[in-house]
Structure 1
Amino acid sequence: MSIKLTSEPGFCPDCGTILPLLSDKDGVRCYICKKVYGSEVFPGLECNYTSQFNSLETYSELKKGQESAEGPVVERKCPNCENDTMSYATLQLRSADEGQTVFYTCTKCKFKETENS
Structure 2
Amino acid sequence: MDSSSSCFHSDPDFCPECGSILPLPGLQDTVTCPRCKFKIDVKDFEGKVVQSSTVFNKLEGSTTLLQGKEAVEIHGPMIERKCLRCGHEGMTYHTRQMRSADEGQTVFYMCLKCIRRKRIHNC
TM-score under structure 2 length normalisation? 0.39
Q: Which has the larger radius of gyration?
A: 2
TM-score under structure 1 length normalisation? 0.41
